[in-house]
Amino acid sequence: MSIQAKAQEFQIKEATIFADRFEEEYNITNYIGELSFFEDIERPYVTAQIVCMDDIGVFDEIKFKGTEQIRIEIRSVEEDLGDFGFTIILNLVSIIQKNKVGDRSEVYHLNCISPHAYRDAMVKVSRSYTGNPDSIAKAVLKNHLDVETDVSYMGAGSIATPIKVLIPYLSPLESAEWLLNRTSTVSGSPVFFWQTIYDQQDGVDRVRMGNLDFMMNVPAFNEDLHLTYSAASAQSVANKGLAEQAVTVKEIRVENIQDTMKLMHSGAIGANLQSLDTYTSDIFDRHYSIDEALGRLETMRIVPYNAEQNIHDRDAEMTFSGETRKLSEWDGRYFNTLTSYGTYGAVNSYHDTADQIEALNKIRVPAVRSMFFKNAIDITIPGISFFAQLGNGNSGVSVGDTVHIDFLNSNVDEDLESAYNEELSGKYLILRCRNIYTATKHEIVATISKLSTRVSDA
């Protein structure tokens, strides 16, 4: 086996551009220099960017219009790990950049998106629905985009009561997002919907819907064999087989974290909700506190038992006009809502709720989202770490899944009780993934987050 073959970590088996106006398809597999897929827990579609070199005039023949599609198939290459892979069809949206690098050579940087997100741009929904918000969201996606919804990440589902809504000329994806902003879990956590590169079957798109309580309580895919980060171990396995590299974090990047001021501006630390019902004249006024929200998360084990939350300094105080209070006792923002009970008889409208605790979830849901992004860090890992799960008959690991990572202590003091950095090590939720395929390597840059320190082994 050649040195190059040993280094190969994946195979792009096919990359073919096709369109209704073409008499034949165009295979650009051999022209691709870099391929990146982007997944995000807050986006119900996949995007991609392709960099390719054209030295025979293929793109001159294609005459790019922004209506073409590309079919990509990626397979594993290492026999010991098995034969597995995935196929995905994307719409080519635009040419990000085109550079001439020789008399007859041009480099194209292409931008792609999932087909259902492309169609979404031309579809508007204007009709009424009655039911739970998450159920309505699934119906909208199916009825208007022919997109199925995977609810295996929902667990027991949401606690939202049935409502009647009039969707005001929103696109299907905008409608689903609007509806899911109205739902929450018992802890006041959000419900997400997203898509991964593994969610397309025979060219038909599917999205995933999941609630945070369930996702954080499901065992991590690597519960028995954690990923480990240390500079020494990353270097020691760099030239070894994929199976040995698969348990190593290559790089960690920590930027713009612990921004408490941003949480204060958004009302995630402390806020006030006032609501007036124009039919009953009922008024309620409730204070939201991050301490109460974190208590709910601890009850639901999103902050694990025997661990400490790493989001909020409970001892921090602020003095204003001579009055000193804990940060969470101040109102960083005021939220005011108008409701009208009885508009649709016994069924609530979008904003109606008779339960003040459920009403406060209108603040809790975005606050919990903000908490997760407060401490998000980026890691770079071998692509096989997540990709290999396809070989076990599962979906590849991606956004919405959890991963255990152990970060070794940089302090070599012999008196330390643990070899691990307790602040960084633990179970993380994967928020974003960028799968990067270059000449021979497949790497993943994942944005991950957790709300607690590592649970002690004692």
133 burial (CB, 10 Å; 0-12 / 13-18 / 19+) is buried
- Give me the residues paired with residue 362 across strands: none
Q: Which of 25, 408, 27 is nearest to 233 (CA)?
A: 408
Residue carrying the six token digits 């390719």: 52
Question: What is the C-alpha to C-alpha distance for residues 58 and 452, in angstroms, rounded to an integer?
Answer: 52
Mean pLDDT, the chain, as a whole number? 88
Residue carrying the six token digits 């007859």: 104
Mark residue 384 as left, alpha or beta (left: phi above 0; alpha: psi -120 to 50; beta: remaining): alpha
Amino acid in the structure at residue 363: I
Q: What is the DSSP pairing of strand 148-153 with strand 204-211?
A: parallel
pLDDT greater than 70 at residue 164: yes
Could you read off the pLDDT of 44-101 as tens digits, one per residue? 999 999 999 999 889 999 999 999 999 999 998 877 777 899 999 999 999 999 999 8
- Residue by residue, what is the 3-state secondary structure of 14-43? EEEEECCCCCCCEECHHHEEEEEEEEECCC
User: Is 3-113 assigned to CATH 3.30.720.210?
Assistant: no
> Of 122-131, 157-166, 197-206, where does mean pLDDT reach its minimum?
157-166
Question: What is the C-alpha to C-alpha distance for residues 101 and 108, in angstroms, rounded to an integer?
Answer: 11
Could you read off the pLDDT of 174-197 as tens digits, one per residue? 999 999 998 888 888 999 999 999
pLDDT greater than 60 at residue 279: yes
Contact present, 295 and 357 (Cβ < 8 Å):
no
Question: What is the C-alpha to C-alpha distance for residues 418 and 409, in angstroms, rounded to an integer?
Answer: 8
Could you read off the pLDDT of 329-384 as tens digits, one per residue? 999 999 998 888 878 888 888 888 777 777 888 899 999 999 999 989 999 999 98
Contact present, 404 and 264 (Cβ < 8 Å):
no
Going by the DSSP 8-state scheme, the letter that residue 292 receives in this structure is H
- The pLDDT of residue 1 is 30
pLDDT greater than 80 at residue 391: no
pLDDT greater than 60 at residue 2: no
Q: Which of 217, 200, 164 is nearest to 349 (CA)?
A: 164
- Give me the residues paired with residue 27 across strands: 16
Q: Which of 315, 258, 264 is nearest to 451 (CA)?
A: 258
Parse the chain into domains and list their residue ranges: 3-113, 128-198+205-212, 219-257+386-431+445-449, 260-365
Could you read off the pLDDT of 41-55 as tens digits, one per residue? 999 999 999 999 999
Q: In 3-state terms, the chain is what percent helix, strand and coil (to 5)? A: 25, 35, 40
Question: What is the C-alpha to C-alpha distance for residues 173 and 257, in angstroms, rounded to an integer?
Answer: 30
Q: How confident is residue 3, by pLDDT bands cut at 50, 70 and 90?
A: very low
pLDDT greater than 70 at residue 143: yes
- The pLDDT of residue 417 is 61
- The pLDDT of residue 330 is 96
For residue 63, what are the CA distances in angstroms to 118, 140, 164?
20, 35, 47
Segment 252-257 mean pLDDT: 90
Q: Which of 99, 120, 32 is nearest to 70 (CA)?
A: 32
- Angle at Cα 141 formed by Cα 140 and Cα 145, nearest 5°? 115
Residue carrying the six token digits 């643990």: 418
The interaxial angle of helices 172-180 and 133-145, nearest 10 deg, is 170
- The pLDDT of residue 365 is 93
**Global pTM?**
0.91
Question: What is the C-alpha to C-alpha distance for residues 121 and 421, in angstroms, rounded to an integer?
Answer: 46
Output the six-digit token pair for 111.
């931008």
- Cα 406 from chain centre: 22
Contact present, 134 and 191 (Cβ < 8 Å):
yes
Contact present, 112 and 50 (Cβ < 8 Å):
yes
